[in-house]
Structure 1
Amino acid sequence: MLRSLFLLVLIAVPAIYIPFSPFVGVMLWTWISSMTPHRLTYGFLYDAPIVYAIALVTLAVIIFRNEIKYLPRHPLVVLVALYVGWAGICTIFALEPRLAFEAWTELLKVTALAFATAVTLRSRKRLYLLLSLLGISFAYYGVKGGLFTILTGGAFRALGAPGSFMEGTNEYATVMLMSLPLMIWLGRHAEWWLLRWMFRVSVPLTVVAILGTQSRGGLVALGVMSLFMALRHRRLMVLVLLVLVAAPVVWEVMPPNWRARMETISEYNKDASFMGRVTMWKAAARSSSDHPIFGVGADGWRNPDFQAKYVPMGEQPREWHSIYFGNLGEYGYPGLFLFVCILFMAIFSCRSLVRVTEGRSELRWAHELALAMQASFVGFAAVGLVMHFPMFDLYFQLIAITAVVVKMVETVLAFERDRSPLVRENPLHGQAGAPAADAGPQPEEPAGPVPAWARFAMAGAAPDAHWRHVRQIDPKYERWRQRQSRLGGFGPRWEPPSGDESDA
């Protein structure tokens, strides 16, 4: 009871600020969806629909404040919208309409969080806050699972919060796998030194937690993602070499049941669990011949007619155990095409970010963040070969963050290209167009107002000089800053005066 009361106060106090800034709602929404703290209370909040209440209020504020206009114009946004729409159409023709509708509702909730994230992330400061919150939420379970594995000697499996989306071993391994690159990035770029050290400690414990799940797919995906990160980031090559040296020691330290389970990876054709997955993959392929466009709908494998027609006699029907065959069976070839397009578009968008930010010290944070997100997507693509886990909050939220970071970097690069001397009549300049004789050399400044994300994304004197300049010519900006200070930084965004300010 006390846990529930404490959590209720912890949620209710910041929720007061949601009408003033929907970003507060996105933070609460992300925290509850990722960490699922209500599942740790064992009180009246255990089954309370808290996340739905916060989601509805946040989305209502976004619509009421007309913040939809800040949605990034990126192909990923269009592809996700098409995927959700196609899943809704396939739900109409599903073999199990009730189960399919429940799955589609869950998909709507997950993608709505991604939509709200893309709309409200308009500065580097907000981006750091959100990524830090995600890192803390998943680092808690990573540290907890790692310590549990060490204390028990790996004899028992590490699990996520009971009743949450990562309750199972495979789901828990997938979550830890995708959050691991973010923890590495936060260990280098978190704004508070204590947070940086916390994430540095959580990284090895999270790796131990992944091993403690005894998930074979998670182990293989961890190897694939580690190799990718080492090839893309030279500094991590030493870390991977240390892991390879320590691998024999880990193999000997882990208990016999763990070693026996991992040895089945090399003898997959003799493993009943893996061959059962192959059976469901073949069933998905055969069903796509009869339902190539709309598929059988979400959870269509549970239908008795599906099992009688596509699952061989004597075989046990089970989950698809593959995001690719799962999308093929549930949403047909169009659904599979859209899902693969989203995944590869996210990977290649991160690759483009890495290229354009290469060698730019002021955008090093974006360069390394793109590498981290690309590694997360590669890990998800690898683990998805043998696991069916498409409706995942972190996956779609990383897609939204990718679109936002692309927009931020484009704004910064455009700012650098279009930078020109700003000549105004003010105390630092003379009359109409010429700098005062005693003003000294004037820094290059932008020809117009700098967006919020460009101010936070760039490091250097030009943006700061520009906004000091704005305060001198526009007293409204100073009043806005004072109001922001009173509201804790969550007040309305600064709207520059309309018209061509260069003629002011």
Structure 2
Amino acid sequence: MRDILVTLIVFGFLPTIFKKPHRGALMWVWISVMNPHTQAWGFATTFPFAAIIGGVTLLTLIATKEPKNLPITSLTWIFIAFVLWMNVSTVFSIYPELVYDQWSKVMKIMLMTFVVIMLIRTKDHINWLIWIIVISLGYYGVKGGIFTVVGGGVDMVLGPEGTFIGGNNEIALALIMTIPLMHYLQTISPKLWVRYSLTAAMMLCALAALGSYSRGALLAIAAMVAFLWLKSRHKARMGALFMLAIPPALAFMPAQWTERMDSISDYEEDGSVQGRFNAWWMAYNLAKDHPLTGGGFEVITPALFWAYAPNPTDIHAAHSIYFQALGEHGFVGLGLYLLLGLYTWQTGSWIIRNTKKLEEYKWASSLATMIQVSIIGFAVGGTFLSLLYYDVPYYLMGTMIITRVLVEKELKQRALSLAGKKGKGSPRHLGTLEPSPPQPITRDSS
């Protein structure tokens, strides 16, 4: 039944892409983030839904007469540079015969990220994109939260098998990133039942993240809570809310969960943590020998661990977005990736700064703030996970680009319109003096 449902949804919406190309981008995000076919049991589990959706969307992008230019900002150029550098590091990879599969997978993600940025162009498109991400991940959060409540938090919450978020740590981080996006949708929804439903979903996602037994997720939650409190205009109210909500949630979890979280302070005796440190040193030592391009996509091999790791027999993936970028793409790749995060943040700050006093752009300010909160969670939680190519952060980066370009364009039009009205009503308009120029929009370096 699930196989048929997913197939009907995909093929039912495919024809609409030709009329409204942005729906292809939204369908791609849904199929790539939620991976709904993994929830089936029959033919749908291996059916190439993503390839079909991506192919139709690309064909429509080429054929459509609608505007399809790539919005150009400083952040866009850094993203382009990062993608190009991944190709450079592939050319100079240590094991060129091994990298094709991973290179192909990553380039498809990056290509479709560019497509999403090109096709999502309006406020409504942006909100639909956020809804798609929230629904796609919220499904697993609600499901995992109920599982945690019913089971008393004894059993571990896992994500959909065979995806970026299949492991307990990965699904926890994805759900943590989703909670701020749910809060954004609360701020723009006029319907009370939607806001209440999102509140329940946020609580269940938080419980699911705790039920994953992920220590990195706990640190990411703490960082997000601290940032939300700092950004809040009502610090006392927000602090009281956290004090009422967090202790009961922690107290609900069983003793074995508490013991695992307490092991954070005993990292020197934790084999999992020491394995991560070993992988980090391996990536760093490898990058010292290949400082520009790193080792390429496939560097988790016994030979390279024997050459570069302190403990050559303890072979692990990088377990860090930063050391993964360093080991696979060198110091240049790591630098570009860090710039990508920095300029995504600065783009959000520009949006907030230029819209916070304008009621009609309150949505943009709220969205930028909540994406920044998600970025905080990913930056902290990603320290311990190999999620360099996880697509959701790139979609959120793209959302920042689209929102900034849209807001900047509308604010310029608004300034010109106000200046024109002021000029027409001014005595100078009838004389020989030129009208005063419109006030420029505040910019930053991003």
- Equivalent of 2:363, from 343, 361, 365? 365
Show CA shifts across 1:256-284 (max 9, x none): 21111100111222212111111111111
Corresponding residue of 1:311: 309
Q: Aligned partner of 2:377: which letter?
A: G
Corresponding residue of 1:143: 142
Q: Are 1:77 and 2:76 counterparts?
A: yes
Structure index of larger Rg: 1
| 1:51-450 correspondence to structure 2 within 5 Å | 51-65=50-64, 69-190=68-189, 192-235=191-234, 238-302=237-301, 304-313=302-311, 315-419=313-417
Corresponding residue of 1:44: 43
Q: Aligned partner of 2:30: which letter?
A: W
Show CA shifts across 1:315-358 (max 9, x none): 41101111111111110011001100001110111112111112
Q: Cα RMSD over matched residues?
A: 2.1
Structure 1 distance, partners of 2:115, 2:203, is: 32
Q: Compared with structure 1, are the counterparts of its residues 420 and 285 closer, same or farther at alpha carbon in structure 2 (3 Å cutoff)? A: closer
Give the Å deviation of 1:299.
Answer: 2.9
Q: Compared with structure 1, are the counterparts of its residues 342 and 184 closer, same or farther at alpha carbon in structure 2 (3 Å cutoff)? A: same
Give the Å deviation of 1:289.
Answer: 1.3
Give the Å deviation of 1:293.
Answer: 1.1
Show CA shifts across 1:153-209 (max 9, x none): 111111112222211011101211111110011122136544333212211111111
Corresponding residue of 2:435: none
**Cα contact 1:231–1:237 (8 A) shared by 2:** no
Q: Aligned partner of 1:203: which letter?
A: M
Q: Compared with structure 1, are the counterparts of its residues 60 and 43 closer, same or farther at alpha carbon in structure 2 (3 Å cutoff)? A: same
Structure 1 distance, partners of 2:332, 2:419, is: 51
**Cα contact 2:164–2:387 (8 A) shared by 1:** no
Q: Aligned partner of 1:325: which letter?
A: F
Q: Compared with structure 1, are the counterparts of its residues 260 and 348 closer, same or farther at alpha carbon in structure 2 (3 Å cutoff)? A: same
Over the matched positions of the two proteins, sequence identity in percent amounts to: 31
Unmatched 5+ residue regions in structure 1?
424-432, 435-504
**Cα contact 2:109–2:391 (8 A) shared by 1:** yes
**Cα contact 1:159–1:213 (8 A) shared by 2:** yes
State the 4+ residue runs in structure 1 displaced beyond 6 angstroms.
Answer: none
The DSSP-based 3-state class of the residue aligned with 1:18 is helix
Q: Compared with structure 1, are the counterparts of its residues 211 and 232 closer, same or farther at alpha carbon in structure 2 (3 Å cutoff)? A: same
Q: Compared with structure 1, are the counterparts of its residues 99 and 381 closer, same or farther at alpha carbon in structure 2 (3 Å cutoff)? A: farther
**Cα contact 1:321–1:388 (8 A) shared by 2:** yes
TM-score, length basis structure 1:
0.80
Structure 2 distance, partners of 1:326, 1:370, is: 27
Q: More helix per residue: 1 or 2?
A: 2
Is 97-106 or 272-281 further displaced after alignment? 97-106
Show CA shifts across 1:5-41 (max 9, x none): 2221111111111122211111211111111111111
**Cα contact 1:187–1:198 (8 A) shared by 2:** no
Give the Å deviation of 1:247.
Answer: 4.1
Structure 2 distance, partners of 1:25, 1:365, is: 24
Is 249-258 or 121-130 further displaced after alignment? 249-258
**Cα contact 2:285–2:309 (8 A) shared by 1:** no
The DSSP-based 3-state class of the residue aligned with 2:300 is helix
**Cα contact 2:210–2:218 (8 A) shared by 1:** yes
The DSSP-based 3-state class of the residue aligned with 2:17 is coil
Structure 2 distance, partners of 1:179, 1:172, is: 11
The DSSP-based 3-state class of the residue aligned with 1:198 is helix
Structure 2 distance, partners of 1:139, 1:209, is: 10
Give the Å deviation of 1:66.
Answer: 5.8
Give the Å deviation of 1:100.
Answer: 2.5
Q: Aligned partner of 1:407: which letter?
A: V
**Cα contact 1:114–1:399 (8 A) shared by 2:** no
Unmatched 5+ residue regions in structure 2?
426-446
TM-score, length basis structure 2:
0.90
Q: Compared with structure 1, are the counterparts of its residues 155 and 415 closer, same or farther at alpha carbon in structure 2 (3 Å cutoff)? A: same
Give the Å deviation of 1:74.
Answer: 1.1
Structure 2 distance, partners of 1:133, 1:118, is: 15
Structure 2 distance, partners of 1:219, 1:189, is: 28
Q: Compared with structure 1, are the counterparts of its residues 23 and 128 closer, same or farther at alpha carbon in structure 2 (3 Å cutoff)? A: same
Q: Aligned partner of 1:408: which letter?
A: L
Give the Å deviation of 1:90.
Answer: 1.0
Structure 2 distance, partners of 1:246, 1:28, is: 35
Corresponding residue of 1:22: 21
Structure 2 distance, partners of 1:269, 1:413, is: 54
Q: Compared with structure 1, are the counterparts of its residues 394 and 206 closer, same or farther at alpha carbon in structure 2 (3 Å cutoff)? A: same
Q: Aligned partner of 1:125: which letter?
A: D
The one of the two structures with greater contact order (alpha-carbon pairs below 8 A, sep at least 6) is 2
Q: Aligned partner of 1:329: which letter?
A: G
